[in-house]
């Protein structure tokens, strides 16, 4: 069976004091769940979060990393640095990184390789913009994002890859893809993977939905057969809401 996963992407929110408060609230909410639970604090709070959640069923993950091993890349963080503080999973390709920091498919393919070389798991994000959906090009856009960054890999490496479909028009807008829209796209994504790597591999890859996922719509989304969980932005900043989403499984 595929892993069910709910991951909170805290983005550029929460200083150390606010992070500490959110961690305390998360610990109060922890329950056994069939889903794997992850949170992605900002880099400055990663180590503190890791120490604070040690031994609990919440994995601390990173929001980004550079593809180089080390060197003259002012302001960047390497895979080795993340691993050295206990972080084993990284989000790559978020639409905000693509839009505001000019991350290209080509750079993302390199980040993917580096993360896998370091035995890290990846939550690889992609998704179409509103104009793509309006012109009926959403499948073409999504397929090319996946192919350009991931299709150079041998199939077995997908054991460490989690996909996150995040339609840009649904991120932080309050507008969620309908469960049917999410299911249709997730099924398409799985078929795209299967065409390249076979159904054995495609059926084992968890595909998360992200974009205004909240307690009120999580259950409907998660009951769809190809929706294996969520990547949560805004609602993950509130421990009660976040665990309401985790418990939607």
* Interacting span for ligand 13P (CB under 6 A) from 44-52, 131-139, 148-156, 209-217: 209-217
Annotation marks residue 94 as catalytic: yes
Q: How many residues bind ligand 13P (CB under 6 A)?
A: 14
- Residue 159-188 contact track with ligand 13P, rule CB under 6 A, x = bound: -------x----xx----------------
Q: How far is the CB of 170 from ligand 13P (least distance, A)?
A: 6
CB 205 to ligand 13P: min, Å: 18
Tell which positions 110-129 bind ligand 13P, by CB under 6 A.
none
CA distance 120 to 210: 21
User: 226 φ, ψ to 5°?
Assistant: -100, 5
* Interacting residues of 240 by C-beta distance below 8 A, sequence separation 6+: 25, 29
* d(C-alpha 47, C-alpha 213), whole Å: 27
Q: For tokens 């993977």, what's the residue? A: 193
Residue 51 near residue 85 (C-beta atoms within 8 A)? no
Encoded tokens for 176: 């969620």
- Give me the phi and psi of 132, to 5 degrees please: -65, -45
With CB under 6 A as the contact rule, the residue among 93, 127, 167, 210 that binds ligand 13P is 210
Would you call 166 a catalytic residue per the annotation?
Answer: yes
List CB contacts of 248: < 8 A, sequence separation 6 or more: 215, 218, 219, 222
User: Segment contacting ligand 13P (CB under 6 A): 46-54, 133-141, 218-226, 227-235?
Assistant: 227-235
Question: Residues 36, 59, 66, 94: which is the catalytic one?
Answer: 94
**Which parts of this chain interact with ligand 13P (CB under 6 A)?**
9, 94, 166, 171-172, 210-213, 231-235
Catalytically active residues, by annotation: 94, 166
């Amino acid at each position: 069976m595929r892993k069910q996963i709910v991951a909170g992407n805290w983005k550029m929110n929460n200083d150390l004091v606010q992070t500490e408060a959110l961690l305390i609230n998360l610990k109060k909410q922890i329950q056994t769940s069939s889903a794997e639970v992850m949170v992605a604090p900002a880099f400055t709070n990663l180590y503190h979060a890791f120490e604070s959640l040690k031994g609990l069923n919440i994995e601390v993950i990173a929001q980004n990393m550079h593809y180089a091993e080390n060197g003259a890349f002012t302001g960047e963080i390497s895979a080795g640095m993340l691993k050295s503080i206990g972080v084993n999973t990284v989000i790559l390709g978020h639409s905000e990184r693509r839009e505001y920091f000019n991350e290209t498919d080509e750079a993302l393919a390199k980040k993917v390789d580096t993360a896998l070389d370091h035995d890290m798991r990846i939550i690889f994000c992609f998704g179409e913009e509103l104009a793509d959906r309006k012109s009926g090009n959403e499948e073409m856009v999504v397929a090319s994002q996946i192919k350009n960054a991931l299709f150079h890999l041998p199939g077995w490496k997908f054991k460490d890859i989690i996909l996150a479909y995040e339609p840009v028009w649904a991120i932080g807008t309050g507008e969620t893809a309908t469960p049917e829209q999410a299911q249709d796209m997730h099924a398409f994504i799985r078929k795209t993977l299967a065409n390249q790597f076979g159904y054995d591999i495609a059926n084992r890859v968890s595909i998360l939905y992200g974009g205004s996922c909240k307690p009120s719509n999580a259950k409907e989304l998660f009951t769809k057969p190809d929706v294996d969980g969520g990547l949560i932005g805004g609602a993950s900043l509130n421990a009660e809401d976040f665990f309401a989403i985790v418990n939607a499984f």
